[in-house]
Amino acid sequence: MTNTTLDASLAVLILAAGQGTRMKSALPKVLHRIGGRPLVGHVLDTARDLAPAHVLVVVRHERDQVAEAVSGIADEVTVVDQDEIPGTGRAVEVALAAVPDFAGDVLVLSGDVPLLDADTLASLLADHRASGAAVTLLSAVLPDATGYGRVIRAADGTVARIVEQKDATAVEAAVTEINAGVYVFRAPVLRAELARVGTANAQGEKYLTDVIALARAAGEQVTASVVADVTLTLGVNDRAQLAEAGRILNARTVRRWQLAGATIQDPATTWIDVTAELAPDVTVLPNTHILRATTIATGATVGPDTTLEDCEVGENATVRRADATLAVIGAGATVGPFAYLRPGTVLAEKGKIGTFVETKNSTIGEGSKVPHLSYIGDTTIGRGVNLGAGAITANYDDLAKHRTEIGDEVHSGSHNVFVAPVRIGDGAKTGAGAVIRKDVPAGALALSVAPQRNVEGWVENHRPGTAAADAAARARSAQEADDGAQEQA
Residues tagged active-site = 372
Q: Strand, coil or helix: what is 288? A: strand
Whole-number Å distance between alpha carbons of 231 and 116:
9
Whole-number Å distance between alpha carbons of 130 and 21:
39
Going by their DSSP bridges, the two strands 105-110 and 78-81 should be labelled as: unpaired
DSSP for 161-181 reads: EEE-GGG--HHHHT--EEEEE
Q: Strand, coil or helix: what is 267? A: helix
Q: Strand, coil or helix: what is 392? A: strand
Residues 250-257: contacts with CB under 8 Å, at least 24 apart: 250/34, 250/35, 252/115, 253/35, 257/282
Name which of 249, 264, 232, 229 is nearest 33 in CA terms.
249
Q: At what angle do helices 210-217 and 187-194 cross, to 10 degrees?
A: 100
- The answer for residues whose C-beta is within 8 angstroms of residue 34's C-beta and 6 or more apart is 42, 114, 242, 245, 246, 249, 250
Name which of 225, 226, 224, 195 is nearest 211 in CA terms.
195
What DSSP state is assigned to residue 83?
Answer: -
DSSP H helices in 260-312: none
User: How many other C-beta atoms lie within 10 A of the C-beta of residue 157?
Assistant: 8
| Cβ 278 vs Cβ 284: under 8 Å | yes
Written as one letter, the residue type at 142 is L
Going by their DSSP bridges, the two strands 270-272 and 288-291 should be labelled as: parallel
Hey, CA dihedral for 44, 46, 51, 54, is it positive or negative? negative
Classify residue 457 by burial, with Cβ atoms within 10 Å: 0-12, 13-18, 19+: exposed
User: Partners of 359 in the beta sheet?
Assistant: 341, 376
User: Partners of 436 in the beta sheet?
Assistant: 418
User: How many other C-beta atoms lie within 10 A of the C-beta of residue 92?
Assistant: 27
